[in-house]
Structure 1
């Protein structure tokens, strides 16, 4: 811990992160004397310097700033910069803002007692253009139309679509557009003769960027002027694109009222990796990386630390064998979905992930273990969901050894035979589902006390339910009508249900017990009456 009086103006030594769930504001009376923003200077369209003062009496662990377009930004909800220098004076830039918008900033200090915030301070970013601003939309379908717009002295436009459908005058040169600095919606699509984006170097601010079906384009050089944040990025169907170079200065993809903060990289037949997106720190929305025929690595996402959105999907690409490139990822606040990657065999690049919600792995035919996902903080595991479906070589689930609770564990048609890593599990909040798995015993579930639902199907080797003696609650969570059920089907050798007698006589089950197509199919009352085996 550091105790001294410092002035901070935030600059290049930064990390974009959102903080932990224990965000707790201290008493307002402490704020004025301990932490305040002194001034905000050097405000431009996408950057600003923030100077804060921290009292020498404040015992802090970390300090930084957070900002948003609404008042009272918080570190767990909004964009955040931490200081990672210890000097008495620090200069670090806040960046990623948009032109001509008002922002609110608060300094914060993490302390042993919680998180202390300063009062709100606001600033308004500068515009990029002093003239040449129009809300007009431009649809450019020929080189002549590109040349014409280039003579108009434009600096900022609302919509700019560059789409060659004139075979007699295809678009081949974007240099006439070199004066444009700001575009709300920029789409470059189906320009088969366009081999370069040279001419767009002056474009600094874009909300939506789409590059589709440009079959002569090998890279995205020409877009180096883009910096800070985008609201959506879609790179799809460019058959000769080998590199995303040109996008290195983009650090954030953030949703707003018009766009959902998504990154799509799909159906680019010559793209091998994510090189060019090295500046990305956070994405708030959806990530879709799919159908890239020779794609084999996530290298290029080396600085990506936080996903805070909906689905992060990787599927049907070329020979990806691991997640190399995601070693810096710490937070997956959304659904991590991966399927139909036949050569994939390792999750170890996720070893730094400490906060996560949902993993779905299907048809990863060479994945043998889950090593890499075992470091998730126990504060999040009660909601953590795992769907392990049809992974033909997955035998090792030792990554679960450190967990005492899960939200969902669903294993279908995967050759897991050793379930001892589940020994410490006492609670599965929503659903335990084991189907078509060659498991001979449930003894590894001996500490399981409660579950939202249990579904066992086609476990042909089990003869009894030993291991479930401690189960005392099948409780309803969520809205599914199956929640609160205990269902056991097609276990051809299962004749003894006595292990769950205590659930019915001493515990609670909120919905139905169903046994069907097993060697013995007692009712709940049969088990209560002692007729629990055959």
Structure 2
């Protein structure tokens, strides 16, 4: 999109307008005389502001979109955060919410004609800080409804520490209503554990730091209200054991996970029985440190496509990924943008038919593929790094292991319990195993010819364990050319 350079007629224009300055800024003008101007910014609070806009010829049918854009840098564009106005009058107001307190923001109004965006002059404002003298310093643990209401009556708007709501140790007076905490806007860490709430609509938190954990809430159906939160240096995100949770759309503002005082970054989505997708995590693009991703035990999860924007892994080693016990998951294409992954465990996903999502990985050092009964082939190159551990077990319908052709040197390999496997084709280029080669309990496996080079060249430096297959050649059998039946 082409952005037009704004012309300013005074030094005041060059410096942008300040809060309370009513003087309109010079704006772009189209051939049919459409212009836009911010006239005033009002109703500024800790977390909200109202931007009032006046347009010349704002009713023109050439306008395809109009609104305001804002951000933390000067001269924001439509590629930054924007609020679209759907009206057609010459004046309108845009309410900006979900801001951080005591923060300077830059804002411009805009309109689009013929695919080109035109802007007003820049304005700026700073949110207030009403919490500066109403802060609770330390951790807060609220285990009962009575405790929650008593703490809420104190009217704190910021907790400089951890707020824990609920506990797995209490079955009396369990928390069912969060409205008493509506004054709280900022917390460092938030845990909501074993409550009776059905949603988080009474939470008004707009800023959260290192940890978010929502666990064991038997009546919770959605976490939509979390979409008002600005996540600051989030490290650990845990959504676990919420049996009727159907949506995590409220996590749309999560864009990165990094190391914190709690440890390395972690994304854990586990045992949410009715969750069908991970929509809400589509803006997560970066995982730092020795990060971990666990997608485990979500019985109705059919895809993980919302993770497809994760590209930046800020670690020399990469992250570890565990995708297990998701009975309805058919593919793992959602992790296809990740390149830096040192370990992946794909286990007990009954409907899984494809692992092509890992084709973009570089140098895996641990590859576990276990108990995926619908998987019949690897369908892609598996990028196993030198010195890695390779485990392929109990995949009952796996017909072949083609896709391992890039494997040259391993620390260990275990291939067992794959009852449809008939050969080791795919290991043709394997030249060295440092510790152990174990092939057992593959009831139809009778062709070991693909490891002939490994055995005859003396590349197996450790144990050779081959038994309970359709054919169980010794190393001497393979050297003698008797590698199959």
2:334 is aligned, of 325, 331, 335, to 325
* Matched residue, 2:429: 424
- Spell out, residue by residue over 1:501-531, the C-alpha distance to the aligned partner (whole angstroms, 9 max, x if none): xxxxxxxxxxxxxxxxxxxxxxxxxxxxxxx
Contact kept? 1:407, 1:430, Cα under 8 Å: yes
Query: SS at 1:394's partner residue?
Result: coil
* Matched residue, 2:322: 313
Question: Across the two proteins, how many residue pairs are aligned to each other?
Answer: 345
* Matched residue, 1:276: 280
Query: SS at 1:336's partner residue?
Result: strand
* Matched residue, 1:296: 302
1:349 is aligned, of 357, 376, 396, to 357
Flag the 1:439–1:294 CA change in 2: closer, same or farther, 3 A: closer
- Spell out, residue by residue over 1:244-281, the C-alpha distance to the aligned partner (whole angstroms, 9 max, x if none): 11112222223334334222222212111211111223
- Spell out, residue by residue over 1:109-159, the C-alpha distance to the aligned partner (whole angstroms, 9 max, x if none): xxxxxxxxxxxxxxxxxx996443433322232267346436433323312
Is 2:471 the counterpart of 1:461? yes
Contact kept? 1:314, 1:338, Cα under 8 Å: yes
- Spell out, residue by residue over 1:352-401, the C-alpha distance to the aligned partner (whole angstroms, 9 max, x if none): 22232111111111111112343x2xxx6212222011111112211012
* Matched residue, 2:106: none
Contact kept? 1:172, 1:195, Cα under 8 Å: no
Contact kept? 2:271, 2:299, Cα under 8 Å: yes
1:359 is aligned, of 334, 342, 367, to 367
* Matched residue, 2:136: 134
Contact kept? 1:319, 1:341, Cα under 8 Å: yes
Contact kept? 1:228, 1:250, Cα under 8 Å: no
Aligned partners of 1:161, 1:361: CA distance in 2, in Å? 37
2:254 is aligned, of 244, 250, 256, to 250
* Matched residue, 1:368: 376
1:411 is aligned, of 387, 409, 415, to 415
Flag the 1:161–1:462 CA change in 2: closer, same or farther, 3 A: closer
* Matched residue, 1:211: 214
- Give the C-alpha shift of residue 230 in structure 1: 1.8
1:443 is aligned, of 437, 449, 460, to 449
Flag the 1:345–1:174 CA change in 2: closer, same or farther, 3 A: same
Flag the 1:310–1:451 CA change in 2: closer, same or farther, 3 A: farther
- Give the C-alpha shift of residue 175 in structure 1: 6.6
Aligned partners of 1:163, 1:174: CA distance in 2, in Å? 14
- Spell out, residue by residue over 1:43-92, the C-alpha distance to the aligned partner (whole angstroms, 9 max, x if none): xxxxxxxxxxxxxxxxxxxxxxxxxxxxxxxxxxxxxxxxxxxxxxxx99
Query: SS at 2:223's partner residue?
Result: coil
- Give the C-alpha shift of residue 465 in structure 1: 4.0
Query: SS at 2:305's partner residue?
Result: coil
- Spell out, residue by residue over 1:181-213, the C-alpha distance to the aligned partner (whole angstroms, 9 max, x if none): 232x311122213422443342x2322211122
Flag the 1:167–1:385 CA change in 2: closer, same or farther, 3 A: closer
Flag the 1:460–1:186 CA change in 2: closer, same or farther, 3 A: same
Contact kept? 2:174, 2:196, Cα under 8 Å: no
Query: SS at 2:395's partner residue?
Result: coil
Is 2:346 the counterpart of 1:338? yes
* Matched residue, 1:387: 391
Aligned partners of 1:355, 1:418: CA distance in 2, in Å? 25
* Matched residue, 1:153: 156
Aligned partners of 1:150, 1:206: CA distance in 2, in Å? 24
Flag the 1:417–1:142 CA change in 2: closer, same or farther, 3 A: same
Query: SS at 2:404's partner residue?
Result: helix
- Give the C-alpha shift of residue 177 in structure 1: 3.2
Contact kept? 1:248, 1:279, Cα under 8 Å: yes
* Matched residue, 1:196: 200
Aligned partners of 2:175, 2:403: CA distance in 1, in Å? 55
Flag the 1:193–1:413 CA change in 2: closer, same or farther, 3 A: closer
Contact kept? 1:143, 1:171, Cα under 8 Å: no
- Spell out, residue by residue over 1:331-353, the C-alpha distance to the aligned partner (whole angstroms, 9 max, x if none): 212x3112222221110122222
Aligned partners of 1:144, 1:464: CA distance in 2, in Å? 69
Flag the 1:429–1:132 CA change in 2: closer, same or farther, 3 A: farther
Aligned partners of 1:150, 1:300: CA distance in 2, in Å? 39
Aligned partners of 2:445, 2:130: CA distance in 1, in Å? 64
TM-score using structure 1 length: 0.57
Flag the 1:135–1:403 CA change in 2: closer, same or farther, 3 A: same
TM-score using structure 2 length: 0.63
Flag the 1:209–1:128 CA change in 2: closer, same or farther, 3 A: farther
* Matched residue, 1:475: none
Aligned partners of 2:171, 2:431: CA distance in 1, in Å? 66
Aligned partners of 2:391, 2:231: CA distance in 1, in Å? 37
Query: SS at 1:446's partner residue?
Result: helix
Flag the 1:362–1:143 CA change in 2: closer, same or farther, 3 A: same
Contact kept? 2:209, 2:232, Cα under 8 Å: no
